[in-house]
Structure 1
Amino acid sequence: MSLKFVEVLLLLSIVTLGLIRADLDCRMESVEKIVGDEETLVDFNVRLIGRERLLNGTLNILVDLDDEVEFAHEIFAHRNGDWVPSSIGVRYKTCKYMSLIYDKYFGPFFKDSDLPRGKDTCPLKKGNYYFKNIEVTAENWAHYARMGLVKSVLTIRKNNITYGGLICVIVLQEKVF
């Protein structure tokens, strides 16, 4: 056997064992806001900018979001022309959602933003928050994400009445080195 062949076999076995983590490319395809059933108290005004598909916009919260408000975050995969619910989905009250989900999975993207993070997120105070040139990456999603077209739906509710939310469609694929 040649030395090159042995190197290739060694690399393949290391990758198969999971010792090298595959990085993911994440491309935002679309964003749209969810309007409230009766009134919209959490209003996302967002758009994607440029070839990089950077997220820009504002979040207008008309009331303080305390623990009476529920954040429902569901993930869908596109399979055979239909959106199929994945096993990933959470329903938390405001404080728990902001500390467990937002701060860990989404907060790091918001570098140019005045959207609160950490201990300042509970309750989430009413106000008009901006975010600019947000590049969504999937660095910390590798264990949870499914490759291909993915839809992320965040719905904000109180007493089973929707007060706003956001739908994002993204494409996840392995990075090519």
Structure 2
Amino acid sequence: MSLKFVEVLLVLFMAALGLVHADLDCRMESVEKVLGDEETLVDFDFRLIGRERLLNGTVTVHVELDNEFEFSHEIFSHRNGEWVPSSIGVHYKTCLYMSVIYDKYFAPFLTDSNLLKGKDACPFKKGKYYLKNIEVTGSNWAHYARLGLVKSVLLIKKNDLIVGGVNCVVVLQEKGF
């Protein structure tokens, strides 16, 4: 079999499982901070505003986040009344997370924000950063997500202790429904 044929079979298999979607609507349902185990070094103070559920708030980073910190990002889907872990999840040191995940999947939303991006995001500098009227969309990351309720859990750790994080719940559905 040719490699191209195997790729086509893989895409068809993923589509049959409901893992590939064309255009999705993404609606933020909730957002809550995760406090640190012993101390909170990264404080996410967010709220959702209006019918559009726009993300507003601040991220306060109390120390410079260098590669001594790990970003653990897990995705869960809601099935039969329970949160079920998906196969989508990463555990990266700060610089790798910022360049591979954050810059590609989250920074594009940040139209009115002073959060660091690109090469400026590593190490992530100490400071207070704002987000104003941020619309979260599924256009660049939902191709592998399941429809329905999805929970995204970001934990920031140092020496296996949580030092901050954020939980977000979104509803993903096909456009037009």
Aligned to 2:156: 156
Aligned to 1:173: 173
Aligned to 2:116: 116
Deviations 1:111-140 (A, max 9, x none): 100001000011000000001000000001
Partner SS, residue 166 of structure 2: strand
1:1-177 matches, within 5 Å, as 22-176=22-176
Query: Deviation of residue 141 (structure 1)?
Result: 1.8
Q: How many residues align?
A: 158
Which runs of no fewer than 5 residues in structure 1 stay unpaired? 1-15
Deviations 1:15-71 (A, max 9, x none): x9xxxx620000000000000000000000000000000000000000000001000
Query: Deviation of residue 74 (structure 1)?
Result: 0.1
Identity %: 73
Query: Deviation of residue 98 (structure 1)?
Result: 0.5
Aligned to 1:8: none
C-alpha distance in structure 2 between counterparts of 1:144 and 1:56, whole Å: 26
Counterpart residue type for residue 51 of structure 2: R
Give the number of the structure whose alpha-carbon radius of gyration is greater: 1
Partner SS, residue 143 of structure 2: coil
Counterpart residue type for residue 160 of structure 1: D
Counterpart residue type for residue 146 of structure 2: R
Q: TM-score of the superposition, structure 2-length normalised?
A: 0.87
Counterpart residue type for residue 114 of structure 2: D
Does the Cα contact within 8 Å between 2:31 and 2:47 map onto a contact in 1? yes
Query: Deviation of residue 91 (structure 1)?
Result: 0.4
C-alpha distance in structure 2 between counterparts of 1:57 and 1:146, whole Å: 28
Q: TM-score of the superposition, structure 1-length normalised?
A: 0.87
Q: CA RMSD in A?
A: 1.2
C-alpha distance in structure 2 between counterparts of 1:60 and 1:142, whole Å: 28
Aligned to 1:7: none
Query: Deviation of residue 143 (structure 1)?
Result: 2.2
